[in-house]
Amino acid sequence: MGGSEDLILREEMLPGVVRLCFNRPDKLNALSLPMLRLFESHLDDIAADTRVRVVILEGAGGRAFVAGADIEEYRGGRRAEFAAYQFESRRIFDKLEALPKPTIASVRGYALGGGFELALCCDLLLCSRDAQFGLPEGRLGLSPGGGGTQRLTRAVGRQTASDVMLAGWRLSGERAYHLGLAAVCCEGAELDGQVRTRAQAMLKVAPLAQAEMKRLMRQGFDAPLPVAQGFEQEVLLRLYATDDGQEGIDAFLSKREPRFSGK
């Protein structure tokens, strides 16, 4: 392996679709601080690039998406360094969740600890049947620090979240699908095709509408229903006044494919 730039591989899967691959297969793609910083750099580039419409995350090697943090970096009781790492991780995970473009987690094998938290930050999670999701920090005498206690509980409810964290159980790919945590669970050989199909479908939706709907789903979840509906109406009226809003209506009535400009 070369320099730190090899820790995450970037490629264009389709025009407008970028795939970021966590690339430490010998460590089951465990997150190191250099990897996290490189990941943030990619996120910043993607956020600024209007040509990129969809982002896919996956892990190299087929055995893991990301099997958590690199525990070697935890050794030694260095409290200041540990705290800095945790705050930086949380900030980067939040940046992934807030990215105003659709994100897809493509999960084979282990998605544990920080790897599970990364997947929970994505808009869509697709997994293979051999996927294993877990938050095993309690077995190290620790707790999740990248949003796992909160995002998982909101996604699947307190009972299942308690099973995963307080009893240390893992969720299989099938179980994640039946809980509504994963949109698709399939054989590993089918996963790339399923991801490609979802990404292609996302390219047909107006980018401004995607960004607003993504924000509404995240921010409105904990708001009282009337308040969240107020957010929704305000967004709809604003989108109606955009070029894309009028283009979508005109294309529908003209029975043609819309040509969205993101304006």
Q: Which of 58, 97, 117, 212 is catalytic?
A: 117
For the question of residue 234 being annotated catalytic, the response is no
- Cβ atoms 196, 159 nearer than 8 A: no
Residue 235: how many other CB atoms lie within 10 Å: 18
Nearest to 125 by CA among 150, 144, 143, 151: 151
Q: How far apart are the C-alpha atoms of 248 and 258, rounded to whole Å?
A: 6
Q: How far apart are the C-alpha atoms of 203 and 16, rounded to whole Å?
A: 8
User: Which tokens in the block code for residue 74?
Assistant: 């935890």
- Strand, coil or helix: what is 99? coil
- Cβ atoms 59, 24 nearer than 8 A: no
Q: Which of 137, 187, 234, 257 is catalytic?
A: 137
- Cβ atoms 117, 146 nearer than 8 A: yes
| Strand ranges across the sheet with 54-59 | 8-14, 17-22, 54-59, 103-107, 124-128, 184-186
For the question of residue 117 being annotated catalytic, the response is yes
- Which residues are within 8 A (CB) of 136 and not within 5 positions of it... i.e. 6 or more apart? 68, 112, 113, 168
Beta bridge partners of 17: 14, 54
Q: How far apart are the C-alpha atoms of 86 and 58, rounded to whole Å?
A: 22
| DSSP state for residue 3 in the 8-state scheme | S
| Catalytic center residues | 117, 137
